[in-house]
Amino acid sequence: MTPNFRIAWFRRALLGGLSFGAGVGFLGGTSPAIAREVIMQAAAGQPVQLPYTFRDNFGTQWDVQADGCIGPGDADVYDAGGRLFVGPNQQYSPNAQQAQLNPNANEVVLPPMPLAGLNVSRRVSVNSKEGWCRWVEVLENPTGAAIRAAVHVNFDLGGNVQSSQGFSDEKSKQQIGLAVFDGNRGIAMLGAGRGGKTTPTFAPQQGNDQVDVTWDVEVPAHKTAAIVHIQAVRPTVDDATGFLQRSASQKFLENLPPDLLKAVVNFPPHAGSIGDLEILRGKLLDVVELRGGDQYKGTIQETKYVLRTPYGPVELPAEKVVAFITVGEFRPTQLLVTTDGEAFGGMLQSPAIHLQLSSGQVTPIPLASISRMGYRKRLGEPSEFKYDQPMVLLRNGDRIGVEKPAGPVSVTTRYGSLAIKPEAIAALVFTGEDQPVHQILLTDGSRFAGLVQQDPLEFKPRTVAAGKPLSFPAAAVSRVQLAAKVEEPAEDAPTLSLSTSDRLVGTLAGKLFLETAFDTIEINGAEIRALARAGSALGEVQVTLWDEATLSGRLKGDVIDVALKSGPTMRVPASLVDEYKQPQPQPPASILEKIRGLVADLASTDVQHADRAAADLTAMGPRASAAIRSLRNAQEKPVQDRIDKIVAASESKAEKPSVPKPETEVNAPVEERR
């Protein structure tokens, strides 16, 4: 992208000359809403020359360079703070001579450039009062396929890293921040918010002046993802650590356009918005905003709100409501937002909202005149919505907290009809891009397509005063979330991947019959380490057994059974099997019996007998570790300790790289050569 193109981009932004078609944004195919918001902000801002200097009240000078990094400044905190690389080390370097300044947000917006198949732009802002700098890395995918890329930001400090201290999210235990001491000052680095889905990896180089921060980001087709990260300079490393400990995610997202706010992947949902709608909140007083723009401030006098909704009447006590937004022009409705982040849409029964002004006068404000209303923040109110309870999300934006169903959920799948226990379900997804049927997400990491049979869906609301069941037509539901978050399966979890893109987390059950060129081999499903499609015909596979022996042939029969970790057993058409991995397969019965005998011998009073049993168990190697470990808890403490050492020795042996042996030993047994 040439400098002339960048200048032309800003001119067109200011003149409103960029056009948007269906699914097409600036630079040929990004999110139209976000692109339009960028252009609107650019038009509302003003061009400034680069480098551009911000100063905060803590004495730090933030010199924004042409690539969005911070230059040396007058305090030499950074030599180059925040150079951006995307994908295989492709650097963001538009070398723009100008940026767009948004004075309201104290932010400069740098132009986009193509990197790793994405259109990448940057926004850099400084909160002068609180003394921190924010970067927003905007990644727009103009293609029809998802793009996964590493987003890497390098900080070249003015002094060497003498010490560093990680900062983690108390709940997830994931590291989200780092406090660094460079010999002169403390630098706080925040790479995600508490509860954010995407967390970074920090790599400070002790004794050097480099700190690298990396996120792994997947940007869906024709969508946008945004990474927000923060730096604050403080006198000491303890002050920097204190900044991280006191950090509240919500304040770092202020002044971001609503559409961009939705695209942030490393901070939790913003409590200041519901979808695209910004919530109005008062500071010292409650506030009511009229359609004409006037704002009345005082104390709202309502004690409860009665709402008529498509799924039944809803009554909410005033202390549970934080705000409401009027939605629609021709037949307006109200969207009530609660302290839990729920949103109920419908028609309020009261024709007016009564507001006591600071003068003491109580005035009724007609509902038809109100665009937004918000309460002042109450004592003890959370700063962020925590969606950690079961919830029904509707297509129109409503979010209703519910109780888990009392009975199983009936689902029809290509693997047959299932009755799934509610505790095994993470989410039911009713709508999505290129999703003609429902998606069932289980707590063990399994996901598969199907159809939820219940219609309408009935749930008992969690916070509505009446507490009567609410009825939702399946066509109106976007998602039913029953678990706090959808977990990815652990690395050592057995996983079956299918050609339909379904993923089942569980073990092969029963027996498989493999027709080879000379015989039909009977295999216990639990003993299979891996299975992958091979050959040109459906059902032709290569099977790897627990001891890494491999067999190739054609599966006999139409289906194989998979016992899911979350409980159900599914019958999967053999023709759909793509790949199966089981890092900890079960040894055959004869080997298990031998392992049981050797574990029992560990308790022998004959020291030599016990030592020989330990040596035999260790010699079995890491393949037997899972079986040995499964017997541990039934043993006495001395035997448990010995089992721990045996397993550790076996697994450590497996991790060591192989060393070539002298030529005289090439005919030694395979296990010995390893």
Residue with tokens 């629609």, as numbered in its chain: 328
pTM over 0.75: no
CATH class given for the domain over 49-263: mainly beta
Q: What is the DSSP string of 405-449?
A: PSSPEEEEETTEEEEE-GGGEEEEE---TT-SSEEEEETTS-EEE
| CB-based contact 452:474 (threshold 8 Å) | yes
Name every residue whose Cβ is closer than 8 Å to that of residue 14 and which is 6 or more positions away in sequence. 42, 43, 47
* Pairing of β 425-429 and β 416-420: unpaired
pLDDT value at residue 505: 94
pLDDT value at residue 657: 44
Which contiguous run of DSSP H or E holds residue 77? none
pLDDT value at residue 465: 64
Tokens of 60: 């730090």
Tokens of 461: 């609301």
CA distance 83 to 213: 10
CA distance 604 to 598: 10
pLDDT value at residue 466: 59
Distance from chain centroid for Cα 589? 41
Tokens of 557: 């029969």
pLDDT value at residue 275: 58
> Cα separations (Å) of 342 from 90, 258, 389?
41, 18, 11
**Which segments of 125-217 does DSSP mark as H helices, in order?**
none
CA distance 192 to 312: 39
* DSSP label of 282: B
**Gyration radius (Cα) of the chain, Å:** 30
pLDDT value at residue 185: 93
pLDDT value at residue 170: 82
Which residues of the chain register pLDDT less than 70?
Answer: 1-44, 74, 269-277, 383-384, 433-435, 465-467, 651-674
| Tally of CA atoms within 13 A in the half-sphere of 26 that contains its CB | 24
Residue with tokens 């002042």, as numbered in its chain: 376
